Amino acid sequence: MNLSAQIPRHIARVSLIIVASMVGTVLSADQLTVTTDGNTIWWNTAPGYCCVTVSLDNEQPSTHCSVTACENAAGKSGQFGCNRVGTHVVKACMHVPDSTEKICESKTITVTEPPPPGCPLFTLTALGSKVLTHKYQTSDTYPSGQSRDAQMEVQIKPIRVETGTTLYLRVIDPADPSTYRSDPEPNDNHDTAAGRVALSPSDSGGKTLQFTVPDGPGVVPLYLNTTGFAAGDNYIVQASADPQVVENPEYVCGPTCQQTPTITAWKRIYLEKKRMFRSGAFVVGTAQAGQNQVTVEIPDDARVRFRPGDALRLVHAPPLHGGELFPLFYSEDVIIAAHGVDRVQGANNRRVLTMTTPLQHTYRQEDESVQNAMALGVGDGVGILAAGFYETNDAYVAQAFGRAFVEFQNIATRVAEIPLLPFLPMVREEFISNKWFEHSPVLGRVRPGDENVKHVLGGTGWRDGNKIDVARLGVTGSGITHDVSSPNFSWTFVRAIEAAVQHGTAVTGFDAWIVNGENVVHELAHVFNVNAFGAERWHCSADMATDSTKSCTMNRDTNRGDGVVGFHWISDTDSEYMTIRRTFEPVPSP
Amino acid sequence: MRKHVCVLVLSVLVALSVVASGAPRRMDVTLSIDRAETVLGLSVPLTLRIRNAGPPILLAQRARLRFTRPGGGSFIANKGVEGVEWFDIEVGPDDPDALSYDPLPIGTNQTVEVAIPAVPFGHPTWTRDTRLRDHPGVWNVEVLLYDERDSADQPLAVSSKATLSIVRPDERDMPIWDAIRRKEYAIVAEKLYREQPESSLLPYLADHLPAAHPIKKAEMLRRIVELHPNSPLVPYLRSGIVYFLRAASDRVYGETYDVERAVALANEARAEAMKLSAAPDAWSKIEGKKRLKEIPTRGYFDSLEKHRREKGFQKEPRQ
């Protein structure tokens, strides 16, 4: 290595970075220019930026993007019309090419010419149309326009209306747009106490409001407080200088009235997903960080063969009974060395695996509290990556639950896989489920899960003698079926499904992946304790509301495998959709 | 010798011809329950003595239970989940290559004893059937056995009836039972172990006692067995002692590479397994034999050492 030859290049590289920074600083001074043309405000941004967001007086910004390469992107321009007389602030943020960096610049401009007669007296804007009942995860973000649970910001922008004028607002409840309901009509929201508009975010507000138009340009923010649980409840805010808007229930919003688009409440549920190794074993004893060997035990009834060169993933979870001061979940990938698979005397199902590199972490058998731990899936494990996974297909979740105004979001996990169990212990799935469940305030035998976090797992299935039970395609924990409090797990038995589509069952001949996806929807619906009081006990015998030629996805005997999912709606009180929509949050264990 | 061989061959041929001709099955199955009474929610072992007087059968490792109230209706018990009605019976096949649920062959004029064990809280069993869970009283119990080759709707044999009286818990134990109903098993287990180890509920909660080391858990189970030698859970707990001592031998070797200590623990596990297999009840005999086969020998640890020395990094063991 020629050190002296390297030094000049290093200095040159540093110098280039310094120059580039200086150029960046200089460049940011005049990226935005604003001018007026009568009552209209014009803005222009410099070329070279892909996307520009521009806002006037803290209104909802608009975004302008180029389809060409950013370096050659032309400058953007636009206008704001119908402005009040006075000083306005235009703010533009420009995204630096090939970077997450943003440059923002604000300019003030004074409008002296009054708005033309064609401009409205004022505008009424909702900053978003979807409002979450709750956002439980702090790392998550609200939809546009929302910064608090169950609250949407609404803005009134006075234009031609005189300062000191009283404006009147009311919140109305438009008909539910769901196509599965036969009875949608105005004022059909379930949470009738919600839908209140306030002048400050901490006020509960009222169904009606009045306020006096202030002097000067700029928007007046208002806060619509929506339901905290009834997903699908919807609202429109109307405003007018005519007091009839609040005095007359029959008032129809006309030319002198402004109204927002429909704002709808949604629930957001987080999914912690796990998939099971198709081939693997459990760790025996302890394999300490720094050593290159691990002894493993192949589960009963599994046919697993480890070979030199196999890429493995080791997975660790803290002990099921808890007690660790700093409980950790981790995993790492290793390769079996040449001649790295050895049998051991007297233990036909154990192997010593020697890796090409030392372990970064420690892995151990969970052996201190749970009798027959391995048979219950409780213990660190290893999987052969090339064999793949039993994993869930969530392709149909958005379609099914979107109609119930529920959206699911995957939550990050430290460990995505769980060890192989050829057969899950029947009605004792809480052991393996809770052992590997990360997002819970308590990491013990009982794991209720963080607020609105649901644990979804893909695995094998129940046993039927020496075969997989093809009659059971999944299970969701409930306080009635499982002998643990707050069971939070929802299984799709992928291995059982793959066998069921081959044999003489209701799903024979269907695509296993599609059946898998439909089953995920079925099990997730159980999480909301649907049909709790029905004759079918958590299931139904009804047809799908959106297609009466098909059975509801919660129908126990439905031929699940056509890729169409949906629930039934017989009445407001007999519908999985309505049960799901109205479940209080955080969504409890069934 | 040739005469004996001829007789043997003849017997086999007769047996096969009997099977081939569809000779009727004749099974005598006697169900016994070692106690007349149990408290609501507490399971007891069910032992079956099966004498096969007919052609050979393949006994499936699962059975159904039928409960009948004298003078009343009957039902097939479930495990607290509708439709989950199969109960595992321990049969302990001798073939080490057999899959864990392979059926048990029972030849003509052969008698075997099998069992459905008593299990702790947290295990799904017949006590969770809502028709039993909330209804004390006197019940007649029968076990329905199946041949692996037959349809699941067609029992091979039905056992004799045994009577079991299911009673309400003692009023003085109600606070504990309320906590059990709320599934606060670990809290109740620790409290009883600390403050009321004589409570007859402790064996049923031992599963939920946390321990920092398998040796510690084995000690706890030993103490419970000493305090409750007649509890229906003793066989399960003894099996647990074997399990945790064996686990301790694996852990000790993995953390310290101390072969002598690991072998000592394995030998201790072996001694417990032999005690278990010598117990009078059917389940213990079968379970003890199974556990014995799982316990590592010195040769096992020696082979681990050999692989470690030949291929492992020389990491200092923890002291």
Cα A215 → chain centroid: 42
Closest chain B residue to the Cα of A485, Cα to Cα: B183
> Is the Cβ pair A367, B302 closer than 8 Å?
no
B:264-283 residues touching chain A, CB 8 A cutoff: none
* pLDDT at position A66: 66
Closest chain B residue to the Cα of A350, Cα to Cα: B300
Residue A342 sits at φ, ψ, to 5 deg, of -125, 140
Which stretch of A339-343, B128-132, B214-218 has the lowest confidence by average pLDDT? Answer: B128-132
- The one-letter amino acid at B212: A
Closest chain A residue to the Cα of B241, Cα to Cα: A371
Look up residue A132 and give its two tokens: 């979450």
Q: Which residues of chain A have pLDDT under 70?
A: 1-29, 66-72, 558-559
Q: Report pLDDT digits (tens) over A46-84.
A: 888 777 889 998 787 777 776 556 666 788 889 999 999
Task: Specify whether the backbone of A337 is left (phi greater than 0), alpha (psi in -120 to 50) or beta.
Answer: beta
ipTM: 0.89
Look up residue A456 and give its two tokens: 């979804």
A457 touches A273 (CB < 8 A): yes
C-alpha A375/C-alpha A475 separation (Å) is 18
> Is the Cβ pair A485, B182 closer than 8 Å?
yes
> Is the Cβ pair B254, A426 closer than 8 Å?
no
How many helices (H) does chain B have, and how many strands (E)? Answer: 10, 12
The SS3 assignment for B75 reads strand
> Is the Cβ pair A372, B243 closer than 8 Å?
yes
Q: Is B17 exposed, middle or buried (0-12, 13-18, 19+ CB in 10 A)?
A: exposed
Any CB–CB contact under 8 A between A466 and chain B?
A: yes
> Is the Cβ pair A368, B84 closer than 8 Å?
no
Q: Which of B211, B249, B209 is nearest to A286 (CA)?
A: B249
Task: Using only the alpha carbons of chain A, give its radius of gyration.
Answer: 30
The SS3 assignment for A363 reads strand
A581 touches A190 (CB < 8 A): yes
- The one-letter amino acid at A1: M
Helices B174-181 & B185-195 angle (0-180, nearest 10): 150
> Is the Cβ pair B299, A358 closer than 8 Å?
no
Which stretch of A368-382, A471-485, B5-19, B28-42 has the lowest confidence by average pLDDT? Answer: B5-19
A-chain residues near B128 (CB < 8 A): 483
CA distance A235 to chain B (A): 41
A205 contact partners, CB below 8 Å, separation of at least 6: A196, A197, A198, A199, A223, A224, A225
Helices B282-294 & B259-277 angle (0-180, nearest 10): 160
> Is the Cβ pair A290, B210 closer than 8 Å?
no
> Is the Cβ pair B300, A339 closer than 8 Å?
no
Terminal CA-CA length for chain A: 66
B111 forms bridges with which residues in the sheet?
B51
A347 touches A290 (CB < 8 A): no
* pLDDT at position A101: 79
> Is the Cβ pair B312, A369 closer than 8 Å?
no
Q: Give one DSSP letter per residue of A157-202, joined into a string.
A: EESSSPTT-EEEEEEE-PPP--TT-S---SS--S-TT--EEESSTT
Any CB–CB contact under 8 A between B184 and chain A?
A: yes
A234 forms bridges with which residues in the sheet?
A264
pLDDT-derived band at B3 (thresholds 50, 70, 90) equals very low
Place of tokens 């099971």: A276
B214 touches B245 (CB < 8 A): yes
A437 touches A489 (CB < 8 A): yes
Q: Which of A494, A489, A515, A439 is nearest to A590 (CA)?
A: A489
Q: How many other C-beta atoms lie within 10 A of the C-beta of residue B219?
A: 15
CA–CA distances in Å: residue B119 to residues A220, B43, B89, B100: 67, 6, 12, 19
B294 forms bridges with which residues in the sheet?
none
A-chain residues near B243 (CB < 8 A): 371-372
Residue B41 has pLDDT above 80, yes or no: yes
B-chain residues near A481 (CB < 8 A): 80-81
C-alpha A219/C-alpha A80 separation (Å) is 14
* pLDDT at position A151: 98
* pLDDT at position A29: 57
pLDDT-derived band at B238 (thresholds 50, 70, 90) equals very high
pLDDT-derived band at B24 (thresholds 50, 70, 90) equals confident
A306 contact partners, CB below 8 Å, separation of at least 6: A281, A296, A312, A336, A341, A351, A353, A384
Look up residue B97 and give its two tokens: 């290559």
C-alpha B62/C-alpha B146 separation (Å) is 7
Q: Compare CB distances from B254 to A287, A292, A463 and report the shortest one's residue.
A: A287
Enumerate long-range contacts of B227-234, CB under 8 Å, 24 or more apart. B227/B197, B227/B198, B227/B202, B228/B200, B228/B202, B228/B203, B231/B200, B231/B203, B232/B34, B232/B35, B232/B38, B232/B42, B232/B43, B232/B44, B232/B45, B232/B118, B232/B203, B233/B118, B233/B119, B233/B120, B233/B203, B233/B204, B233/B206, B234/B203
The SS3 assignment for A285 reads coil
CA distance B298 to chain A (A): 9
Substitution target from A282, A301, A344 for chain B, most B beta carbons within 10 A: A344
Look up residue A562 and give its two tokens: 């056509």
Q: Which residue has the higher pLDDT, B14 or B261?
A: B261
Q: How many other C-beta atoms lie within 10 A of the C-beta of residue A165?
A: 13
Q: Is A340 exposed, middle or buried (0-12, 13-18, 19+ CB in 10 A)?
A: buried
* pLDDT at position A71: 64
A508 touches A474 (CB < 8 A): no
CA–CA distances in Å: residue B159 to residues A554, B30, B46, B65: 39, 5, 11, 10
C-alpha A235/C-alpha A331 separation (Å) is 47
A-chain residues near B186 (CB < 8 A): 321, 444-446
Q: Compare CB distances from B247 to A343, A358, A365 and report the shortest one's residue.
A: A365
> Is the Cβ pair A368, B250 closer than 8 Å?
no
Any CB–CB contact under 8 A between B208 and chain A?
A: yes
C-alpha A528/C-alpha A408 separation (Å) is 13
A:302-361 residues touching chain B, CB 8 A cutoff: 321-323, 337, 339-340, 342-348, 352, 354, 358
Q: Compare CB distances from B307 to A293, A427, A465 and report the shortest one's residue.
A: A293
Look up residue A58 and give its two tokens: 């803290």
Q: Report pLDDT digits (tens) over B191-202.
A: 999 999 999 999
Q: Compare CB distances from A426 to B84, B296, B308 and report the shortest one's residue.
A: B84
Q: Report pLDDT digits (tens) over B270-296.
A: 999 999 999 999 999 999 999 999 999
- Torsion angle of alpha carbons A165, A168, A169, A170, nearest 10°? 180
B-chain residues near A428 (CB < 8 A): 122-124
B-chain residues near A365 (CB < 8 A): 247, 250-251, 254
* pLDDT at position B98: 59
Place of tokens 């009606």: A208
- The one-letter amino acid at A397: V
A30 contact partners, CB below 8 Å, separation of at least 6: A46
Strands (E), chain B: 27-32, 37-39, 46-52, 57-59, 62-68, 74-76, 87-88, 104-106, 110-116, 137-145, 157-158, 162-167
Task: Using only the alpha carbons of chain B, give its radius of gyration.
Answer: 23
CA distance B19 to chain A (A): 24
> Is the Cβ pair B311, A339 closer than 8 Å?
yes
Look up residue B205 and give its two tokens: 């909660």
Place of tokens 């072969």: B259
Q: Which of B254, B253, B203 is nearest to B226 (CA)?
A: B203
B:221-240 residues touching chain A, CB 8 A cutoff: 239-240
Terminal CA-CA length for chain B: 63
Q: How many other C-beta atoms lie within 10 A of the C-beta of residue B75?
A: 14
> Is the Cβ pair A344, B307 closer than 8 Å?
yes
- pTM of the predicted model, to two decimals? 0.90
C-alpha A476/C-alpha A427 separation (Å) is 10
CA distance A60 to chain B (A): 51
Closest chain A residue to the Cα of B121, Cα to Cα: A483
CA distance B3 to chain A (A): 40
A-chain residues near B123 (CB < 8 A): 428, 483
CA distance A588 to chain B (A): 16
Place of tokens 């199969």: B86
> Is the Cβ pair A364, B296 closer than 8 Å?
no
